[in-house]
Each structure stands twice: as structure tokens, then as C-alpha cells.
Amino acid sequence: MLWVKSFHIVFVASWFAGLFYLPRIFVNLAMVPPESVAERERLLLMARKLMRFTSLLAVPALALGLWLWLGYGIGRGAGNGWMHAKLFVVLLALGYHHTCGVMLGQFSRGANRRGHVWYRWFNEAPVILLVAAVVLVVVKPF
């Protein structure tokens, strides 16, 4: 079980590293002047590759988490409300990941309507999600 937990943590950390950096690329994309086509294309290429890699990292993170939850019974029974809250945080992280994909598509089509400051704030969400998940798992407040 410790091996599964270890790899789950590694893949979650790797997945979130991508979620931390992808919106930072969006900040840069939002700041690119319209005449700077090469810079825009380079940033889009970076964002597409990171999105693909981040999506691949999410799969084992989720699969190993499911293994821990179902296979070993972690978080089941009385006094495990923390697990329900953590699963909600995981759903929010998946929604955030999906939203990043939608935003990348908007940038690719030249349909972005948000400024770089908005993306700077958007970039803070995965930090909050990761802190919430770690606190719920370690502290188990309820």
C-alpha cells in the first residue's frame, strides 16, 4: 500500500506542477502583441505540449487514488467526512484542468477576451486546491 501511496503522491504533484505552470503561459499569451506571431505560436506550442503532458500525468494520479480509495478502503466509514471533501476538491481540480483546455482552445482560435491580470488570479486556484487536499488528507478535520 505504501508503494501505491508513494506513486499517487508523485503523480499528483506532477499533475499539479502542470496546472501551476499552464496558466502562467496563458498570462504570457495574453500579453503578446498582435503583431508578434512567432512569439504567440511558440507559447501556444509550449501550452499544447504542457496540456498534453499534464493530462497524461493526471491519469495515473487519479487511477492510483481510486485504487487507494476502493482497493484499500481509505476514507470509508464513520469519521471520514474529510474524504468526501477531498473527493470534491479532486472534482474541482478536474474541472480546472478541463477549463485550462477550453482556454487553450480559445487562445488557439484567437478568441481570448481576458487580460493577463485575470489569468494571474486564475493561476492561484490550483494552489488553493492543493493546499485544501493536503490539509484534508493529513489533518482529517472531520
Domain housing 88: 2-139
Which residues in the chain show pLDDT less than 50? none
pLDDT at 71: 83
Whole-number Cα distances in Å, 140 to 13, 127, 136, 137:
20, 19, 5, 5
Residue 91 in grid coordinates: 472534482
When divided into structural domains, the chain yields a total of 1
Using a 10 angstrom Cβ sphere, with 0-12 exposed, 13-18 middle and 19 or more buried, the burial of residue 33 is exposed
pLDDT at 20: 97
DSSP class per residue in 26-55: HHHHHHS-TT-HHHHHHHHHHHHHHHHHHH
Q: What is the pTM of this model?
A: 0.94
Angle value at C-alpha 28, between 118 and 36, nearest 5 degrees? 125
pLDDT per position as a tens digit, 122-141: 999 999 999 999 999 999 99
Which amino acid, residue 84? Answer: H
CB 22 within 8 A of CB 54: yes
Q: Please give the torsion angle defined by the CA atoms of residues 55, 12, 29 and 38, in that order, rounded to the nearest 10 degrees.
A: -60
pLDDT at 75: 67
pLDDT at 25: 98
